[in-house]
């Protein structure tokens, strides 16, 4: 659950929170594209460090660190899988594994961490309401925007309900951590069924509530709040474009010259 903690929005005032979700999303996409472009360690480390000022400026260090911790297990898995599979596929039976393989696996892991990092910053600093608004103003059909914001909105509600259901079943003697692997999975049936049933019930109720509040009565909705692109947003967009241009340039003309960090790894 701790991974999700790192994506949960809290209402704080900071320059990053004030930014337009569209500008931030563009930035996140830029980071995404750059992270996927390179599989060397050096540029990914840079990409990781570039984002730290954003975290500090937004004042979400605590939550951010939590999400990083939550992602660490997956990161470890990614490292192991990359390392082992590539080793057996390419290098086996030479031993020990080459240091370039080490660098490659580390880079893949870091790529994942960079992606989690940027999305975590995005969701930590963007309220679901503003996100929905941004979607709407990007001419995405309102039905989709609404479905999206509703889904986001109900995640904590469902998490809380899951906890209550777990408590209720534990109080009836259910021991989740007992038995072998199959038994343990089966142990979750008494939790999943009430959870799914109540989610379906809730969605039906929500549908009725929406209809009784004239959902879809007009084709053209107006909004109380309208997002406007401000100076900070332009600056962020320019930074993103700059990063992208630089990355493409390096990728096209200097890819072979990116220094390897192998000497540093092997000591």
Partner 1 sequence: MIEVKDIFFTYPNNVKALKGVSLNIREGDFVAIMGQNGAGKTTLVKHFNGLLKPTKGAVIVNGVDTREESVAKLSRGVGFVFQNPDNQLFCETVEEEVAFALRNFGFEDKIVQKRVEWAINLLGLAKHRQSSPFMLSGGERKRVALASVLAWNPDVVILDEPTIGQDYKQKEKLRQFIVQLNAQGKTVVVVTHDVEFVAECNPRVVLMAQGEIVVDGDAKHVLTNAKLVTKASIVPPQISQIFMGLTDLGLPIDIIDVYEARDILLDFLGGDL
Long-range pairs for 68-73: beta carbons < 8 A, 24 or more residues apart: 68/6, 68/113, 68/116, 68/117, 68/120, 69/2, 70/2, 70/3, 70/4, 70/5, 70/6, 71/3, 71/6, 71/112, 71/113, 71/116
Q: How far is the CB of 163 from partner 1 (least distance, A)?
A: 10
Q: How far is the CB of 180 from partner 1 (least distance, A)?
A: 17
Query: 84 or 168: whose CB is closer to partner 1?
Result: 168
Q: How far is the CB of 191 from partner 1 (least distance, A)?
A: 8
Query: 5 or 91: whose CB is closer to partner 1?
Result: 5
Q: What is the 3-state secondary structure (H, E, C) of 156-203?
A: HHHHHHHHHHHHHHHCCCCCCCCCCHHHHHHCCHHHHHHHHHHHHHHH
Query: 197 or 230: whose CB is closer to partner 1?
Result: 197
Query: 36 or 168: whose CB is closer to partner 1?
Result: 168
Distance CA 71, CA 65 (A): 10
Query: 10 or 221: whose CB is closer to partner 1?
Result: 10
Angular region, 179: left φ>0, alpha ψ -120 to 50, beta rest: left
- Give the tokens for residue 16: 């990053």
Kindly report the CA angle at 49 between 47 and 52, in degrees rounded to 5?
120
- Give the tokens for residue 38: 């390179």
Distance CA 177, CA 162 (A): 16
Query: 28 or 60: whose CB is closer to partner 1?
Result: 60
Query: 201 or 221: whose CB is closer to partner 1?
Result: 201
Q: How far is the CB of 70 from partner 1 (least distance, A)?
A: 14
- Binding residues vs partner 1 (CB under 8 A): 161, 164-165, 167-175, 189-190, 193-194, 197-198, 201
| Contact by Cβ (8 Å): 7, 75 | no
Q: How far is the CB of 197 from partner 1 (least distance, A)?
A: 7
Q: How far is the CB of 71 from partner 1 (least distance, A)?
A: 19
Handedness of CA 77, 80, 81, 83 (dihedral sign): positive
Q: How far is the CB of 186 from partner 1 (least distance, A)?
A: 12
């Amino acid at each position: 659950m701790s991974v999700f903690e790192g994506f949960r929005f809290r209402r704080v005032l900071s320059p990053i929170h004030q930014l337009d979700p569209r500008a931030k999303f563009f930035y996140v996409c830029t980071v995404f594209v750059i992270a996927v472009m390179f599989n060397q360690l050096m540029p990914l480390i840079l990409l990781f460090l570039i984002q730290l000022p954003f975290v500090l400026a937004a004042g979400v260090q605590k939550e951010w660190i939590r999400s990083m911790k939550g992602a660490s297990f997956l990161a470890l898995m990614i490292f192991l899988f990359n390392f082992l599979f590539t080793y057996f596929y390419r290098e086996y039976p030479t031993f020990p594994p080459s240091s370039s393989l080490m660098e490659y696996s580390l880079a893949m892991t870091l790529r994942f961490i960079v992606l989690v990092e940027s999305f975590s910053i995005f969701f930590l600093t963007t309220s679901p309401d503003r996100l929905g608004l941004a979607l709407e103003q990007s001419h995405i059909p309102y039905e989709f925007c609404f479905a999206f914001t509703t889904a986001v909105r109900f995640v904590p509600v469902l998490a809380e309900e899951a906890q209550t259901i777990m408590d209720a079943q534990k109080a009836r003697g259910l021991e989740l951590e007992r038995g072998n692997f199959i038994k343990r999975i089966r142990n979750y049936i008494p939790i999943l069924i009430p959870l799914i049933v109540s989610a379906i019930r809730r969605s039906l109720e929500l549908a009725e509530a929406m209809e009784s509040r004239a959902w879809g009565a007009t084709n053209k909705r107006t909004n109380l709040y309208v997002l406007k692109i401000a100076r900070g947003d332009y600056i962020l967009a320019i930074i993103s474009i700059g990063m992208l241009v630089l990355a493409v340039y390096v990728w096209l003309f200097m890819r072979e010259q990116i220094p390897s960090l192998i000497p540093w790894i092997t000591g």
